[in-house]
Amino acid sequence: MTVLPNELPPARPVVLSRELDYVPGSIVSRTIAKSRAGSLTIFAFDAGEELSEHTAPFDAFVQVLDGSVELTIGGERVVARAGETVRMPAGVPHAVRAVERFKMLLSMVRE
């Protein structure tokens, strides 16, 4: 069986937080699944890195895998820690800021 470079191996448990390393002063990502229904992408943010305010046409779910993150969603500040998940609604402005280094699984769900 052939596994594409970014795909996870089938029928095998994995620890998502170990699937992507931190890079000093950077944000790195790895898309592990993508289809017409949406996508799953792992991100690793070094402390102090951020994504400026933007919107997405689809609901997005941030599942924190390691560390913690400060999200701003529709002007409201939300802190999420490892093991927690936050929904960012479609069309609502949001931003991401790493107060400490953190990893997340971002699930985009298309309608």
Count of domains in the chain?
A: 1
Q: What pLDDT score does 8 carry? A: 83
In a domain, 14, yes or no: no
Q: Let me know if residue 2 belongs to a domain.
A: no
| pLDDT computed for residue 2 by the predictor | 38
Whole-number Å distance between alpha carbons of 98 and 10: 31
DSSP H or E segment with residue 31: strand 27-35
pLDDT of residue 6 exceeding 80: no
Q: What is the pLDDT of residues 28-58, one digit of tens each?
A: 999 999 999 999 999 999 999 999 999 999 9
- Buried/exposed 88-102: b ≥16 CB within 10 Å, e otherwise: beeeeebebbbeebb
**Entry pTM:** 0.91
CATH assignment of the domain containing 38: 2.60.120.10
How confident is the model over 16-24, as a mean pLDDT? 96
pLDDT at 5 (0 to 100): 62
